[in-house]
Amino acid sequence: MEDFAGSPTALVADVDCTAEGKELCEQQGVRGYPTIKWGDPTAMQDYDGARDYDGMKAFADENLGPSCSPDNMDLCDDAKKAQLEKFMKMSEGKIEAKIRKAEKDMAKLEETFTEFTSGLQKSYEEAEKKKEAGLAEIKESGLGLMKAVAAHKGGDGKSEL
């Protein structure tokens, strides 16, 4: 954060999502910690790069500051320009409806994933209980005593004929 303090085009900040920053984190879709976001404040993106200082600094030097947006079309590649132009032609209501749909679709994916992982957790817990019960049954069937007898007879559990 110190490296970008006072920058007129880039802000690097720390937000506590468990306290005062909770609402901001919810607006930005932060679901786990630590989460790093970057980009236009109205359309933050997830940062998936290196987590060490050098990697993050290199990324910040290259990417923080003005970026492709309606106010900076000159920074967009042809595909993003075309996409922006398409969106700019839409009414505010249509754009808001598309945003709501996209956010609803994302929430559904999150919900489906959460249900899936909950199912995995339940399956794991059931399998673990079954394994523990099976191990206990085997041990209670005399395994310890068999090992003691095997050791007493010579260590390998086989008696000579």
Q: Please tell me whether residue 39 adopts helix, strand or coil conformation.
A: coil
Q: What is the pLDDT of residue 155?
A: 56
What are the pLDDT tens digits along the chain (161 aa)?
888 787 777 778 888 888 888 888 888 888 887 888 888 777 788 888 999 999 988 888 888 777 788 888 898 999 999 999 999 999 999 999 999 999 899 999 999 999 999 999 999 999 999 999 999 999 999 998 998 898 888 855 455 54
Residue 85 Cα distances to 45, 89, 100, 122, 137, angstroms: 20, 6, 20, 48, 69
Q: Please tell me whether residue 99 adopts helix, strand or coil conformation.
A: helix
Domain extent, residue 3, equals 1-89
Q: Are residues 71 and 119 in the same domain?
A: no
Instruction: Please identify, among 89, 112, 136, the residue that sits at the C-terminal boundary of a domain.
Output: 89
Question: Domain for residue 16, yes or no?
Answer: yes
Instruction: Please identify, among 42, 60, 89, the residue that sits at the C-terminal boundary of a domain.
Output: 89
Q: Indicate the Cα dihedral angle 31, 33, 39, 44, nearest 10°.
A: 10
In the block, residue with structure tokens 């919900």: 111
Q: Which residues pair with 37 in a beta bridge?
A: 46
> Do 12 and 56 meet the contact criterion of CB atoms below 8 Å apart?
no
Q: Are residues 112 and 35 in the same domain?
A: no
Domain count, the chain: 2
Q: What tokens appear for 100 in the block?
A: 């709501």
